[in-house]
Amino acid sequence: MDGDMTYFTMLKYTYSSLLLICCVVFLMVLISQENTYLSKEVHPALAYVCLWLAVFWLSMIEGSQASLGGLPPVDRDLYKDSHPLTYRTASLCHKGDNLNRYLMGRQFLVLLVVFVVNMSGSPIGPADVFGWTVGFQNAFLGSGFAMILITTNIGQLFSQVNASHCMIDYINTYFGVFTAYVAMAVEFSGILHASYLVQMSVAMLAGKPVYSKEDPRTLPQMLFFWFRCLISTAFLGFSFAVTVKAILDGKTTMWGKGKFPEWATLVLFFAVLMTVGILEAMQIAFFAVAKLPREEQGKDMISKLTSKLLFRRDGKNLPGFMVGRQLATVICFFVLARISTLNVVDTNKNVFGVPDLIQSFLNTGLHVAVIITISGSISWQYLASAFPFVFVSNPLTYILLQFCMFIDFTGICTVARVIAVIQRKINKYQYDEVYVGTPEERLSGGMAPEESIHIEVGHLGGASFPSGTHKPGAHDVTLGEYDTIHLQVVPKI
């Protein structure tokens, strides 16, 4: 059995690596033929630059999330001198409620990058790469499969692998500092502040307060906060109206134009948006029940089946779910981008007759990124933080869990581990224990007790509490466990 598993693992590494290489080659040829939006409208060189810069930035966005989400329990003074840039970034994002602000801004940046990749590499006509069959090329390029694999493996998973174990080294760059400031700036702009209205509503439904590490807002701060909430809500409503109108008028980049009914496209849009939301909620809900006793992880048949599958093999299925969930989420993102990105070139047909400048902005798809971030991601995470068992006992959750586990079983993303090893060797990353020791070593050295990571209502990630200020409960996850459950998508390599 062990030998069979070894051969099967080697097979997965081999075919996953070859598949990714083929996808990269196919996509580069497609761009050179000026068969994508940016390569046709501007120049293939711009499409190449935008595509790889977007994927490269995505890797830092994802890696930063893993690092900043796992470092709060570690005393920053331990790496202040050896990693000054990590210290600078952590000092910004771990102050007050800044970690939740960063996570909110970071979520929008992920969608922004996906839309840039879609504009750079999505085919606008029949693909003709190497003269291969139409069906084969549609499977790789027309469906967006090549972009999805490139985005997931090169832009997300490999960085999460390294950053989940080498948190201190990974963000010790000016690029990491830049990414953190941009994410914070996105949140500060107020474009996503409608999410806070959802946060408050969910907390009221749950009958629990939203925990905060900051003092109550002053009157000017309160006015500025509510002003941004108002603007964000208005923009979200406008974005939905534009998207629905454009879909019904056939003014998007939806494939098969003229063959796929507009009403069906609209139904598909909301169905995929809901699927993204459930995928986002699943990880929060699963983390919330991960540390509960087995008998408390499920009361009804569906929740029992979900928990049994998820925590089988001493919890090893949970990292597998995270890998599959990542790819499934990216698939949904690209489908939503294809469905909803506007394709209006005739100024006489602007949506709602808006000025050309506004129409040019809408054509970028940024308004759809706002919709997905707020309505398809953050809102669902808030709901799951307050009502985890609603999602654990949902039949659709169980179906999606099975799908995510199947994706991981296929090994289609195992190449990410190969890329992670290459990056770690080149950048000479070290495990965090090399710099700050293990939690046990820090305690034995007389350092302050570790903080715990606690699933809190109204928070996108765990809220950290110094020892003594919060009584650990069934939902608490220590740093090592948080690393394994929330951040570690594959075993150490």
| pLDDT tens track for 204-219 | 888 887 778 888 889 9
Q: How confident is the model over 235-253, as pLDDT tens digits? A: 999 999 999 998 888 877 7
Task: Tally the C-alpha atoms within 13 A of residue 302's C-alpha that lie toward its C-beta.
Answer: 14
Q: How many CB atoms lie within 10 A of CB 234?
A: 11
How far is it, in rounded angstroms, from Cα 288 to Cα 239?
A: 33
Residue 7 in domain: no
Report if residue 493 sits inside a domain: no
> Phi-psi bin for 173: left (phi > 0), alpha (psi -120 to 50), beta?
beta
Unique residue bearing structure tokens 């966005």: 61
Q: Which residues, including other chains, have CB under 8 Å from residue 318's CB and lie 6 or more apart?
A: 286, 290, 310, 311, 485
As given in the structure block, the two tokens for residue 420 are 């992670």
Tokens 């540390």 sit on residue:
291
Single-letter amino acid, residue 175: F
Judge whether residue 179 has pLDDT over 90.
yes
Residue 407 domain-assigned (yes or no): yes
Written as six digits, the tokens of 10 are: 């080697």
Q: Look-up: residue for tokens 């201190």?
A: 168
The top-scoring range by mean pLDDT among 104-113, 222-231, 321-330 is 222-231
3-state helix, strand, coil in the chain (%, to 5): 70, 5, 25
Minimum mean pLDDT range among 173-177, 334-338, 348-352, 369-373: 348-352
Coil, strand or helix at 306: helix
Is residue 303, in this structure, part of any structural domain at all? yes
Q: Which one is predicted more confidently, 141 or 11?
A: 11
Q: Domain for residue 451, yes or no?
A: yes
State the pLDDT confidence band at 474, using cuts at 50, 70 and 90: very low
Query: What's the confidence (pLDDT) of residue 375?
Result: 92
Summarised one tens digit per residue, pLDDT across range 407-423 is 988 889 889 988 999 99
Look up the domain containing 308 and give its range: 16-211+218-487
Instruction: Report residue 446's pLDDT band, with 50, 70 and 90 as the boundaries.
Output: low
Q: What is the pLDDT of residue 488?
A: 34
Q: In what order do the strands lie in the sheet with 463-465?
A: 463-465, 452-454, 476-477
CA 77 – CA 66 distance, rounded (Å): 20
Does residue 10 fall inside a structural domain?
no
Name which of 322, 251, 284, 290 is nearest 62 in CA terms: 322
- Residue 449 pLDDT: 46
The Cα 445–Cα 456 span in angstroms is 30
One-letter amino acid at 300 equals D
Reference 140, options 256, 24, 6; nearest CA is: 24
> Is the pLDDT at 465 greater than 50, yes or no?
no
**pLDDT at position 230 over 80:** yes
Measured CA distances, 8 to 4, 155, 198, 372 (Å): 6, 25, 46, 37
Task: Report whether pLDDT(84) > 60.
Answer: yes
Query: Cβ of 265: how many Cβ atoms within 10 Å?
Result: 20
DSSP state of 258: T
Over the stretch 289-337, which tens digit does the pLDDT of each residue have? Answer: 776 666 666 677 888 888 888 777 666 677 788 888 999 999 998 888 8
Residue 450 tokens, joined:
């570790």
- Phi, psi (rounded to 5 degrees) for 13: -60, -40
394: confidence class by pLDDT, cuts 50, 70, 90: confident
Q: Which residue has the higher pLDDT, 88 or 392?
A: 88
The mean pLDDT value for 272-290 works out to 87
Q: Is 356 domain-assigned?
A: yes
Q: What is the DSSP letter of 193?
A: T
Q: What percent of the chain has pLDDT over 70?
A: 83
Residue 164 has a pLDDT of: 84
Q: Is the pLDDT of residue 475 over 70?
A: no
For residue 308, what pLDDT is reported? Answer: 81
- The domain total for the chain is 1
- Residue 9 resides in a domain: no
User: Which residues on adjacent β-strands are paired with residue 419?
Assistant: none
Q: Which amino acid is residue 15, in one-letter code? A: Y
